[in-house]
Amino acid sequence: MIELREEAFAPAAVGAGTRMVNEAIIKALSAIPNRGELPPAVIRKARLEGKGPFPLPPESPHASTLEIQAPHGPVRLRIYMPAAAPLGVYLHIHGGGWTLGSPRENDGSNDRIVTRTGWAVVSVQYRLAPEHPYPAAPDDCEAAAIWLAREAQARFGTTRLAIGGESAGGNLAAATLVRLRDRHGLTPFAGTILTAGCFDLRLTPSARQFGDTPLVLNTADIHRFVRYYLSSGGSPEDADVSPLLADLAGLPPALFLVGTRDALLDDTLFMAGRWMAAGNGAELMVAPGGCHVFTHFPGTLTDQAVARFDAFLASL
């Protein structure tokens, strides 16, 4: 059920802790000279070395790496296993504008899922733009999803599956669900969790109007990421690129998470409505003052979102 409360959008609803987090993010990103001009490869290297604007989480003791063979070449997966037999498996697709990010950088959040829920996590190290533009990323995610659907029982002892991701990862998770349904006749996932997804690469009003404030993601960032991603073809008008435009019928229940200070706020509001209108279950959490992927930063809003995330997995 989707319920929008107007007080979530009121300035008075934003807690002091949330304001402090946002101010710290803006300060950290403002201190990087020519942030938008740095080559993606340079940014990736710095982040994996712990030299990015935000700390690299400690390496998860539950993680290992597996390489699978896919139609377009090998795909590396980072697998996080709980101490006991997994209650389910969550296929995670990281964010980063199809250009940045990695499973390793998500060790903190994925380790939390394992320890709090008892689910295993499989995180996809898909190919990144601009070196590997569309359709490399969705091709790799599609291959990983098919592998998991086929191997889940033998490898994890369960067929209870969920899929999700944040930002570009939310885009890829939604596109993967549509691809599996349309290309393979598969609907193996019982639910999906889509956090701050970019679902319309034509840019929704909130993305167009957000401006230059470096609160994780701004309008210039979105334009740059879309340019990298679609540098060798693919159109924002294509539903495989912009899943907001897809036929969403027959997809699993979804939990949508987004903050009111996210440039991609409208993407989630529009997608949640379309998801429900297509006849699918939909839940929506709108976090007052939450920045883009607010769940990656400590605070009350993140605690609330984590509780929603865990409860949603338990309900599947």
What residues are annotated to the active site?
A: 167, 262, 292
Contact 37, 125 (CB under 8 A): no
Q: Which residues of 282-311 are buried (b: 16+ CB within 10 A; e: fewer)?
A: bbbbbbbbbbbbbbbbebebbeebbebbbe
Taking the C-alpha atoms of residue 290 and residue 287, their distance in angstroms, rounded to an integer, is 5
Taking the C-alpha atoms of residue 296 and residue 255, their distance in angstroms, rounded to an integer, is 17
Q: What is the separation of C-alpha 59 from the centre of its chain, rounded to a whole number of angstroms?
A: 20
Query: Which residues make beta-bridge pairs with 121?
Result: 80, 90
197 SS3 class: coil
Contact 91, 148 (CB under 8 A): yes
Q: Radius of gyration over alpha carbons of the chain, in Å?
A: 18
Taking the C-alpha atoms of residue 25 and residue 214, their distance in angstroms, rounded to an integer, is 8
First-to-last C-alpha distance (Å) of the chain: 15
The region that residue 199 occupies, defined by phi over 0 for left and psi between -120 and 50 for alpha, beta otherwise, is alpha
In 185-264, alpha helices (H): 205-209, 219-229
Taking the C-alpha atoms of residue 132 and residue 229, their distance in angstroms, rounded to an integer, is 8
The DSSP 8-state label assigned to residue 238 in this structure reads: S
Place of tokens 């003791």: 61
